[in-house]
């Protein structure tokens, strides 16, 4: 893996990052499932992972996710929700680079170095959310047989997480937690995690 930033694709249509995509770096349209699969595999081989972006709309906030971290490094794919595209791209790339260097990310632990001044944590993503948030990864893995985690950012003003009662208004909707309950499930908030 090189230290360069992985190219990304922006989804034009489709759920979970499947459908027609535009390679952000060179403007090429990836318009079939097979060409998208090849693009993701080739990008992951060269850069550690492909970064997929899905624009926000009335049904939910924008998000980005990796495709290739599991294939290349045996580390879970990552989803980031509610951040601007350039920031999300950088955060996903940072995760892939650190995972590729052997770092392990434990749910419920705090990590620095992803967003300036904002600690982050991770949570395992429930399978029910895979089709919506990781759909195009199914092309590489032939279905949902791969692990994935959500990188959850704290608020920039006061380092609060979406499940905390004193988190900024709307923060939970802006950054939904992709578990069965919509709350952390790998740890108990305030007891053995943030």
pLDDT in tens, 133-157: 999 999 999 999 999 999 999 999 9
Confidence check: pLDDT of 24 > 60: no
Q: 151 has which bridge partners?
A: 80, 122
CA angle 92–27–72, rounded 5-degree value: 35
**Eight-state DSSP code of residue 189:** B
CA 43/CA 46 separation, integer angstroms? 5
Q: Is the pLDDT confidence value at 80 over 60?
A: yes
For residues 8 and 15, is the Cβ–Cβ distance under 8 A? no
The band of 192, judged by pLDDT with boundaries at 50, 70 and 90, is very high
74 pLDDT band, cuts 50/70/90, is: very high
Q: Does residue 91 sit in helix, strand or coil?
A: helix
**Region 93-120 average pLDDT:** 97
CA Rg, the chain, in Å? 16
Contact 133, 65 (CB under 8 A): yes
Share above pLDDT 70 across residues of the chain, in percent, rounded to a whole number: 84
* pLDDT tier for residue 32 given thresholds of 50, 70 and 90: confident
Nearest partner of 88 among 135, 111, 55, judged by Cα: 55
The predicted structure's pLDDT at residue 21? 60
């Amino acid at each position: 893996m090189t230290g360069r930033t992985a190219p990304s694709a922006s989804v034009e249509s489709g759920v979970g990052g499947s459908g027609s995509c535009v390679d952000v770096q060179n403007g090429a349209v990836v318009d079939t499932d097979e060409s998208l699969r090849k693009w993701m595999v080739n990008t992951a081989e060269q850069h550690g992972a492909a970064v997929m972006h899905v624009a926000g709309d009335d049904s939910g906030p924008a998000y980005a996710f990796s495709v290739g971290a599991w294939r290349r490094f045996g580390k879970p794919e990552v989803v980031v929700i509610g951040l601007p595209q350039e920031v999300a791209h950088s955060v996903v790339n940072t995760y892939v680079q650190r995972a590729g260097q052997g770092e392990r990310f434990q749910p419920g632990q705090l990590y620095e170095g992803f967003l300036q001044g904002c600690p982050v944590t991770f949570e395992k993503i429930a399978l029910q959310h895979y089709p919506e948030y990781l759909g195009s990864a199914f092309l590489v893995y032939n279905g949902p047989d791969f692990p994935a985690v959500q990188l959850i950012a704290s608020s920039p003003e006061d380092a609060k997480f979406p499940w905390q009662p004193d988190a900024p208004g709307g923060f939970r909707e802006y950054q939904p937690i992709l578990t069965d309950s919509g709350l952390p499930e790998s740890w108990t908030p305030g007891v053995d995690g943030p």
